A = this chain, B = another copy of it.
Amino acid sequence: MSEHTEFLYPAKWLSKASSGNRVASELRMRIIAGLIESGTIISENKIAADFSVSRSPVREALKILASENIIRLERMGAVVLGLTEKEIQEIYDVRLLIETFVFERLAKMDSTKLVQELSKILEMMSIAIKYKDADEFSYQDVLFHETIIRSINHSYIMMIWNNAKPVMEALILLSMRVRLEERYEDFQRVIDNHQLYIEAIKTKNRDLMIQALHQNFDDVQEKVDDLWMSQQMLSKGVQNDD
């Protein structure tokens, strides 16, 4: 319909990405942000025209989104599923499942190097806040959790993460952008929570780990609430702030 001159997904993150991944990333953002409504039927040709690419990368993109349960491929066209509140809850079920498993493994390992790496990322996050860079903050936030998960060197846990990551990234990105505008003070709490993560890993304190996890999930719950705001804002169109 209307021309999409603006892209929701940060162009910086796509420097080396293939055309298919670009389309997938942007399409994912538009679907999760509600710009493309649930139930919409999209076809390879339509998307290809939208993004001025051929069907080949679009096919690739749709396969990716289908594996993330964001769309459902059908005989004729693909149905946009989007994310209901149920699915968002489910994503965090999976995160809880994974991170609990990872923590158990971590407790049996030397985590010195990991702690240092996480500290670095946390400082990056602080700087991102300082310069009000929501995208950079989101990037580091996702990287923080990915770094923890990657550290146990478990290919199948990593596989699960890789499948869930893009959707989580999109959720966090949208949420952080809204927060930066409206609830700037939240960021310090996010930082504190991540510091708790590091402490838990450093001391191998299982109770602290669980505390950090739950605190993060409570926080995440708010992110979700924010998300719906951002969805409303983005999909209904924001003339000005009422």
Contacts and interface: CB of A to CB of B under 8 A. Distances in A.
A79 interface: no
A156 B63 contact: no
A157 B94 contact: yes
A93 B101 contact: yes
A161 to B, nearest CB: 10
Nearest to A96: B101
List the 7 closest A-B pairs by CB distance, nearest first.
A90-B156, A94-B156, A69-B155, A160-B160, A90-B154, A69-B159, A91-B156
A68 interface: yes
A42 to B, nearest CB: 19
A97 interface: yes
A69 B56 CA distance: 23
Contacts of A90: 154-157
A22 to B, nearest CB: 16
A173 B68 CA distance: 27
B157 A160 contact: no
A93 B154 contact: yes
Contact of A156 (B56, B87, B155, B159): B87
A74 to B, nearest CB: 14
A163 interface: yes
Given A60-B63, A93-B101, A163 B159 contact: yes
17 contacts: A56-B56, A60-B63, A67-B67, A67-B162, A90-B154, A90-B155, A90-B157, A91-B156, A94-B156, A94-B157, A94-B160, A97-B101, A156-B164, A159-B163, A159-B164, A160-B160, A160-B163
Interface residues of A, number: 22
A154 to B, nearest CB: 6
Contacts of A68: 159
Interface in A67-108: 67-69, 87, 90-91, 93-94, 97, 101
Interface string A140-165: 00000000000000111101101110
A56 to B, nearest CB: 8
